[in-house]
Amino acid sequence: MQSHDVQDPVYTVHVGDNSGLIKKVSDLYFVDGDKVADVTWGRGVFWKQVDKSKYDIIGTDLKTGVDFRNLPYEDNSFNHTVIDPPYARITNLKGMVDCYNTTRHTTHDEILGLYRAGLKELVRITKPGGFIFVKCQDEIHGGKQKWTHIEIHDMAVEEFGLYTKDLFVLVNTKKPKPLYKQQHARKNHSYLWVFQAKK
């Protein structure tokens, strides 16, 4: 009987950073030679720990002249796709504005609108059976909890017919301190949805 190497288990909770999580998840779902579109590339931090020689990773964002809401790709042209739009409503970070088309006054509904427009395009360009990675985080808006990861799940399933393959929780090792009197627990985790396109 031939023995096969068994990779280390991939767990639903990862403590660390995005690059460590993406390495584990891509090792779990991708195969050598897969073509992957990361449509919110930024500085490419997702892929720092991934052996990029194994995959054809195409990274774009507004700084490269590509808006994830209107992608220049043919239908079903990628094995897998990745999106990580800004999930912080309020930002002064110039890089966020330049790469992702958000401003200091972006509302929660506008953030969801970015996800909706991006998902529509990713569904179009992802091959049947391919995986769509969606990074998100819940937030407080108007003093009320907004369970963004649930809203995105419902959007993906009900509006786009995607299958929910997995949900990963990324725990940030940095402990952000509240800058104001707390009324809710400070969030030190985010989510990575893995959806699968219809086969």
Tens of pLDDT, residue by residue over 186-195, are: 788 999 999 9
User: Closest Cα to residue 15, out of 164, 174, 149?
Assistant: 174
The two tokens of residue 187 are 């969030």
- In order of 40, 73, 90, 195, the CA distances from 22 in angstroms are 14, 23, 25, 14
Tens of pLDDT, residue by residue over 85-131, are: 876 555 444 454 455 555 555 788 888 998 999 999 999 999 999 99
User: Closest Cα to residue 82, out of 106, 61, 102, 112?
Assistant: 61
Banded pLDDT at 177 (limits 50, 70, 90): low
User: Closest Cα to residue 136, out of 152, 157, 158, 117?
Assistant: 152
Q: Which residues contact 142 (CB under 8 A, 6 or more apart)?
A: none
| Predicted pLDDT of residue 1 | 31
Q: How far, in Å, CA of 134 to CA of 149, rounded?
A: 9
Tens of pLDDT, residue by residue over 38-76, are: 999 988 999 999 999 999 999 999 889 999 999 999 999
Domain range annotation of the chain: 13-196
| Predicted pLDDT of residue 2 | 35
Tens of pLDDT, residue by residue over 123-160, are: 999 999 999 999 999 988 777 888 999 999 999 999 99
Rg (CA), the chain: 17
Mention the CATH class of domain 13-196. Answer: alpha beta
For tokens 């940095």, the residue is 174
